[in-house]
Structure 1
Amino acid sequence: MNRYPVAQSQRRYDAKAIAKYYRNRPWLVIWRAIAIIFSFVGFIFGLKWDEWLKVEPGHVANRRATQLRHIITRLGPTFIKVGQALSTRPDLIRKDFLEELIKLQDQLPPFENAIAHSIIEAQLGRTISEIFSEITPEPIAAASLGQVYRARLHTGEEVAVKVQRPNLLPTITLDLYLMRWAASWLAPWLPLNLGHDLSLIVDEFGIKLFEEIDYINEGRNAEKFAANFQDDPTVKVPAIYWRYTSHNVLTLEWINGFKLTDTERIKAAGLDTDTIIQIGVTSGLRQLLEFGFFHADPHPGNLFATPDGRMAFIDFGMMDQLDQNTKETLVTAVVHLINKDYVDLAKDFVKLGFLTPETDIWPIVPAIETVLGDAIGESVSSFNFKTITDKFSELMYDYPFRVPAKFALIIRSLVTQEGLALSLNPNFKIVEVGYPYVARRLLTGESPEMRRRLIEILFKDGKFQWQRLENMIAIARTDGNFDLLPTAQLGLQYLLSAEGQFLRRQLLLALIEDDRLHTEEVRRLWNLVKDELKPARLFDVALGALNELSTEGVAAILPSVSAFKSNL
């Protein structure tokens, strides 16, 4: 008889079904809760005992760190996921504990080979020898949800074979039930104003965890991710072998590479760590702000630097999708943050769901300015995401901020990626890569939505913000991928189109704003870009824009010119 009929049968997370099942089996819940509490109480007591005896940290560091890793490993996959997230934060976790937690990424105890082989054969309907010409006698890595073998198909391709741990769902569902129960009871007592959203965050985690243990879903995610980056030669995604894949077995292309935390091997291979960081951060920003489909579990066991300098992503079980409006709002929120436009930033928080639409933002704006202004500091280069999240949490004590469930994964992904970058370069600032990328995307205006966002940023209270445009161009040029000429061509085409009628009129009015010609602002902009706008190239850009201009486009320009003359 199956002890966990609900857990074993469902493929999707259902909090109500899980709760109904475990409410009728309180002995399972109580026993698991006792095991969790007892494990951590013993560890905390040990730390306090060492402190009371004034034992030097160096004498017990390895022992306590190893004890914590064993506790997390023993408690199973849900807690291992938490440990993996912590292992990417060298700025949060003491070095001795960090070294042990890193082992949770791919140095977990494996389960028996005989069981793994039987799962492969049962899932794929063939014997091991019929499927593979060779396979490693032992797993080369064991993770929270499964273990991996290196093998070769009879057709010659070298592959990684991921086999899911047996009886995984019962433990996960019980832990999620306990986490959700604890969230509902603890939320009112926490200093943060999370309220019922704490349970929603647990539900979001549960949904993603259930998706992660379905290897068919992971294979589809990998192919979607690869399609998004098909034009990016710096990103590598392994191919999926569907003939040898099922819900519990995943066969994919073998990737040769170095862990991002293995800086010595990366440097020995002649790879530049700052270039690797830039690839990782830019690809992360493209996931969030361009595609809206992002890797929500980018720990070092899932990211590799390949010998040819690419960034390889693996393990696509935990992914999430953002809608178009959220992507656009995130882009403008970054710009508002850097430009210190705190009123507009507060409005962005409302759009993103951190504040309810009924919230009066005006009492909150000074607090945002105080907290986030201090976090950014005197210059953009002093910004780091960890500081922002810490400072932002201070606002939640006194103001009605909440963390939307979807953003729990986004924040985790961003903080984790920054942690990885810090492990390669302790002086790394995410905004040094991030803001130039955002500025470049806005300036190129590759979609009507992005062009609309750019106009919103460049005009405030009906006035053109010359300094913002100047700042954006200057910052975008720090991105090695930014070329001003194609951007100028796109901008000119847009200005000459029917869609650009409003912007044409506003720019013409901006030149004579406040009853004066703004020649000084124009001169500063020209000095900023003149080295790139050589006459020959400028002529080519203008000619290219005119070639795209239709008769209707010429007709659309005339009303703006007429309006400008009438204003004169």
Structure 2
Amino acid sequence: MRRYDSGAIARYYRYRPWKAWWRALDIIWSFVGFVLGLKWDDWQHHVEVNKSRRAIQLRKILTRLGPTFIKVGQALSTRPDLIRKDFLEELIKLQDQLPPFSTPKAFDIIETELDRSIDEVFESISPAPIAAASLGQVYQARLRTGEAVAVKVQRPNLLPTLTLDLYLMRWAAGWLAPWLPLNLGHDLTLIVDEFGTKLFEEVDYLNEGLNAEKFAVNFQDDPRVKVPSIYWRYSSQHVLTLEWIDGFKLTDTQRVKDANLGTDTLIEIGVTTGLRQLLEFGFFHADPHPGNLFAMADGRMAYIDFGMMDQLSEETKETLVDSVVHLLNKDYVDLAKDFVKLGFLTPETDIMPIVPALETVLGNAIGESVSDFNFKTITDQFSELMYEYPFRVPAKFALIIRSLVTQEGLALSLNPAFRIVEVAYPYVARRLLTGESSELRRRLIEVLFKDGKFQWQRLENLIVIARSDDSFDILPTAQLGLQYLLSEEGRFLRRQLILALVEDDRLHTAEVQRLWDLIKDDIQPTKLFNVALNAIAELSADRAATFISPMTAFTLFQGNKGDDTKF
């Protein structure tokens, strides 16, 4: 099978029930023994004495049960706030310290897949794998043409194990769903199907190569992100040859320090690239654990595994941006509508009783300051909310949630005091203020206006938050803003701004003064004049003539007054 098909898998094992029974007994017996061991330690008051032994036991159970369970362990290994430290230290080993299969077998697979001998392809290749993962292992090699490469070889006979585990997981999901207190219902089987689809894509290395190239195109304008090149001539469905990345795991804090790389800088790169994947491109890495993310000595972050990726529709991506905007505005009615659009609530759901609960949960999570917010708090609060209200987890969002939780867990391992919004809020604010698309400009207007009134404080907050990002430059943003205001599309905002300046029968000079105080250090009069001219240059001659006189007078006025200007 090249693609996941739950029906075909069910038909296969329906006529081979002994295989399913034997595997199910093996899984149940493994975990029953582990749980009984934990209980015995508790009864005998030997928890502290045996905790290291139990952690090793859990890792060995997951390793023995194979790739499906190793994937679960990898996800848990990124959550230091959920897993006890002794378990965490063992689960981390599942990322790249798994038992390899034999090198002669791996070389046989390479020669069969590429239809040529090892010596024909490689000038040299490591005699043993340098890393072994859940689905395959990696060799360091040099091509006959001189390039240093990594060669990924898939484990033999992988699909029979995966299909059997997925069959059992889907059967268990369908049987357990009606008994669960959460409002997941049949969505549990959809989540298993989504996981199965992605797992089948992950074992197709040709698909992974295409994912890597698509990811590289998306981030070609970001010098902080490195994506290895694919050598298609030496790749197949079960062998992938890609550019060698000379780096080290993000969790290797000592090497990060030795390379003079700041952990907070690496966190910022990781979170920002994660947000761009979800909110800009809609094409995101669904398995960003430390074994797949490397730091490089020059400060770049390298993504090295593209097996588990997913694509969001344009509508879903826009709704995600809407939900962030509504969260920023604390517009919980609109946020509840976003949950309906995203599939967390059915269209028939009466959202009004849910709105107060959302306000309580998200209000408590955000707190008085955005720095109090973290994704772990939100997921914990929502898990409680799902007991009382008809929320469900759409299959697509199971991967998104996993990706976000994993990224935050990785950030927490680098800096336990990290809060994801310290990077996420400046990113969202910067995107709204730059408004590079008509959709983002519309959302900026939603942020700045409430009940028809201009929200001066929101604009101030957006500027303050955006400026906390060192890469944010107010001048290009000002130019884009002026171009939009003077365009036909900006007619509504232009009219509303004029009304806002004289709202409530008074001239709002104090608010304008506060905004000027925020940006005056970054905008000198001569630079502002150039920005205005560049913005006007984008307009037609007739429209430019309409605006150039008052804007020139305003700029000259600023130049004469200097920093002490009062409006």
Name the TM-score, length of structure 2 as normaliser. 0.94
Which of 260, 264, 281 is the matching residue for 2:254?
Answer: 264
The 8 Å contact of residues 152 and 159 in structure 1, kept in 2 or not, is answered as yes
The Cα offsets for residues 247-292 of structure 1, whole Å up to 9 and x where unpaired, read as 0000001111111111011101111111111111111111111111
Residue 192 of structure 1 deviates from its aligned partner by: 1.0
Partner of 2:5: 14
Matched, 1:530 2:531: no
For structure 1, the 5+ residue unaligned runs are: 1-9, 559-568
Partner of 2:333: 343
What pairs with 1:9-408 in structure 2 (closer than 5 Å)?
A: 10-57=1-48, 59-408=49-398
Q: Which amino acid aligns with 2:344?
A: F
Partner of 2:505: 515
Distance 1:271 1:478 in 2: 20
Matched-pair identity in %? 78
Counterpart secondary structure, 2:490: helix
The 8 Å contact of residues 498 and 557 in structure 1, kept in 2 or not, is answered as no
Residue 367 of structure 1 deviates from its aligned partner by: 0.6
Distance 1:465 1:513 in 2: 11
Partner of 2:560: none
Counterpart secondary structure, 1:283: helix
Residue 337 of structure 1 deviates from its aligned partner by: 2.1
Residue 555 of structure 1 deviates from its aligned partner by: 9.4
Residue 25 of structure 1 deviates from its aligned partner by: 1.4
Residue 556 of structure 1 deviates from its aligned partner by: 9.8
Counterpart secondary structure, 1:19: helix
Distance 1:480 1:341 in 2: 29
Distance 2:79 2:293 in 1: 15
The Cα offsets for residues 490-547 of structure 1, whole Å up to 9 and x where unpaired, read as 0100111111112112222222333333333222222222222211111011010011
Change (3 A) 1:20 1:555: farther
The Cα offsets for residues 147-202 of structure 1, whole Å up to 9 and x where unpaired, read as 11111101111110000001101110111111111111111111210111111111
Q: Which amino acid aligns with 1:247?
A: Q
The 8 Å contact of residues 332 and 457 in structure 1, kept in 2 or not, is answered as no
Distance 1:290 1:480 in 2: 20
Distance 1:284 1:161 in 2: 26
Counterpart secondary structure, 1:152: strand
The 8 Å contact of residues 334 and 435 in structure 1, kept in 2 or not, is answered as no
Matched, 1:550 2:540: yes
The Cα offsets for residues 49-106 of structure 1, whole Å up to 9 and x where unpaired, read as 000000141x212211111011000111000000000000111111111111011011
Distance 1:444 1:357 in 2: 33
Distance 2:290 2:127 in 1: 25
Change (3 A) 1:556 1:539: closer
The Cα offsets for residues 212-243 of structure 1, whole Å up to 9 and x where unpaired, read as 00000000000010111111111011110000
The 8 Å contact of residues 329 and 447 in structure 2, kept in 1 or not, is answered as no
Which of 471, 475, 481 is the matching residue for 1:481?
Answer: 471
Residue 128 of structure 1 deviates from its aligned partner by: 0.7
Partner of 1:449: 439
Distance 1:270 1:137 in 2: 33
Change (3 A) 1:83 1:56: closer
Distance 2:149 2:207 in 1: 19
Counterpart secondary structure, 1:250: strand
Counterpart secondary structure, 2:409: helix
The 8 Å contact of residues 536 and 544 in structure 2, kept in 1 or not, is answered as no
For structure 2, the 5+ residue unaligned runs are: 549-567
Aligned pair count? 548
Q: Which amino acid aligns with 2:99?
A: P
